[in-house]
Amino acid sequence: MANSSTAAAAAYPLLVQRYGVGGVGSSTPSSSSSSTATRVFSLPAMKLLDVNLPEEMTMMRGSSGGNTFLETPQGLVLVLMSSPPAETFLLDPRDGSRVAALPPLDEGELPAHRRCVLSDRSPEPGCGVLVFDLESPALLFCRVGGERWSRHGYDIGCYDLPEEYCPVPKRKHFFDVAGVGGRFYFTENNGELGTLDFTGGEVAVGAIAIPVLDYFPTDQVMYSSLTFLVESCGDLFLVAIAFEGYSIGGPYDVHVFRMDFSAAPAWRRTTDIGDRAFVVGGDNFCGASCSASGCGVKANHIYWLNDFSEDEKRNLYVFSVEDRSVETVDTFEPLPGAPRQTPFWLV
């Protein structure tokens, strides 16, 4: 069903679920098969809708004319066109417009498992575009208006693993990076907030000393958590979703922290994120923000897609930041015989 760009935009934020072959979406290696199905779940409508994605995102990798695309927390999508001319650009999926041309990049230059994040919400000239490897300390970087992509390695130490388990030290790498006000930040567990600077010829990794964060109140017994960095209205937030023991079966709890960049930088616990909603989880552990009133979703709430859930249908959790109450929502019905890929957000 054809729909106008205005009607399509009103359905956002979206959860996009693809079934069938590997190789479609942001992080799965390519496949030679071309059989697939796509379903779209709209957060404002809280149901599946027939929303047309831009043509650049419906062509499949691994088939003739296939493209590669990587969604970003800023709502734009990095697209690598495979058909001549092999263009690379940022796409607004809401209306299908190409908002910024980028230097050419071949799909073969990308790491197999990756994530893309922008340094700013607005893709003006000079905005940084970062693609980082989710399996090794390597990344690609360019700027809007720049002439080329640069490839970088970095060193943030090694994991503290038992020698009998890992005889050769394993180097740490990024799992989550947020772009705020032209800068990139990543989390460390040793009382630091990491920074990335690309003003020189090479990437410079820095650190801001902060107190070690205790994710859970003193009266709460929790043993493990998932964390997500989220940029929202120029602020940096951290969402911690906690559960007892090491089972992701629940019960769940959520805590939100805002980074205070004052003279004594620290994460500050908050129960009010205002007229905002955060979406986290899904493919590549994305964390993003949207205007609640502008998008027709619940203000001061966290929408978490539990991609570890064994229940493919009932896997969306909606947390209240104020009172930490939670509700679960049905999303996608399994398709018999069709392997599913991890859903991803489009905000």
pLDDT per residue as tens digits for the range 28-82: 433 334 457 889 999 999 999 999 999 998 755 434 457 899 999 999 999 999 8
pLDDT of residue 6: 59
Beta bridge partners of 139: 132, 152
- Are 30 and 3 in contact by the 8 Å Cβ rule? The answer is no
> CA end-to-end span of the chain, whole Å?
21
Sorted by where each begins, the domain ranges of the chain are: 5-346
- Which residue pairs from 29-35 have beta carbons closer than 8 angstroms and sit at least 24 positions apart in sequence? 29/112, 30/61, 30/62, 30/66, 30/107, 31/61, 31/62, 32/62, 32/63, 33/62, 33/63, 34/60, 34/62, 34/63
DSSP-based three-state secondary structure for 285: helix
DSSP H or E run through 317? strand 314-320
- Residue 126: both structure tokens together: 């000079």
pLDDT at 292: 98
**Residues of the chain scoring pLDDT < 50:** 1-3, 21-34, 61-64
Q: Report the pLDDT value the prediction gives residue 23, as an integer from 0 to 100.
A: 41
Cα(316)–Cα(41) distance, integer angstroms: 11
SS3 175: coil
Residue 295 CA: distances (Å) to CA of 40, 181, 237, 271: 16, 23, 20, 21
